[in-house]
Structure 1
């Protein structure tokens, strides 16, 4: 199955503070979006799983592109997430095709990444905003890393396209004060705690 990519867009935020004291080191939060032709647009297809395998190289390309935009050091990445916006001629299940190719590619690239990759999938029109959830890559319950990043591409997705996204962060929220499990308290190394 052919994966027809129209374009790839990258955005990186350099967060220096969030109204509190300036951080010693800014937190980078970034996303990459691949705009892909939806081969299933406009019709119901029962067996679509073959596209998951076809998307695996794109998952690795997007992960590598985003990591490079964020400085290139996999050890600097603390959080991640993914998502997709399916154009109006598609269905939610088409966006779910990104779970394995996107999530596993990031985990492979980052080395130790035990936590499930949080995700959001929705149907949308051109310019639809996608809020990608983020959490800690090794322990989903690290409360300081419950965050997100907003991604959109002005001309995407068209009705017969899917916008597949990945997101990474070099830290959690800038001034966490809500308690709970902290990054230095990860002890079980089970993806949760």
Structure 2
């Protein structure tokens, strides 16, 4: 890890959704998130250039993606939706969360056969803040069935001078998706609008 990055802890959360009020699924929808609680080297001060710090986070993005893939028990081909997110402690600024856009997406793209846009959620929050990480298809942002989310809360993070960087994945779309649109299979075959 970079000298700028000190990781206090990592957290992995997994959920298995068996139904969402409709029929029980043949196999549960499995989704989860992996997060790292790290120091914010720029908390409390404005720094003009954040590029070097952003680039230094690439190994963390890959590490979290690998850890989550392993914890979910997935092969890369099992992942159908993904997203990323960050929480900035109150002594930081929202741009400190934005540094996660490229490294968080890079780690998952490196592991997965993914062409889609990696969605992102970011907030400034106190200890125990709730972060919603939006999910979208790994192949296309136009697959409506895979618009979903993973929610994370860490009871002791972020402290004012910390950040939480997270990645999220799932093996399918919403349990009872039925609002039409481009299917996951069609997007995997390269059909649908390009962005």
TM-score by length of 1: 0.95
Q: Tell me, what secondary structure is at the counterpart of 1:52?
A: helix
Q: Which runs of 5+ in 2 are unaligned?
A: none
Correspondence for 1:141 = 142
Correspondence for 1:105 = 107
How many corresponding residue pairs? 192
Question: Cα–Cα, structure 1 residues 129 and 191, in superposed 2: closer, same or farther, change >3 Å?
Answer: farther
CA contact (8 A) 1:15 1:26 kept: yes
2:122 & 2:141 partners in 1: Cα distance?
19
CA contact (8 A) 1:115 1:190 kept: no
Question: Cα–Cα, structure 1 residues 191 and 90, in superposed 2: closer, same or farther, change >3 Å?
Answer: farther
1:122 & 1:40 partners in 2: Cα distance?
16
Cα RMSD after superposing both structures = 1.4
1:13 & 1:182 partners in 2: Cα distance?
24
Question: Cα–Cα, structure 1 residues 189 and 6, in superposed 2: closer, same or farther, change >3 Å?
Answer: farther
Question: Cα–Cα, structure 1 residues 57 and 97, in superposed 2: closer, same or farther, change >3 Å?
Answer: same
Runs (4+) of structure 1 exceeding 3 A deviation are 187-193
1:151 & 1:94 partners in 2: Cα distance?
19
TM-score by length of 2: 0.94
Q: Which runs of 5+ in 1 are unaligned?
A: none
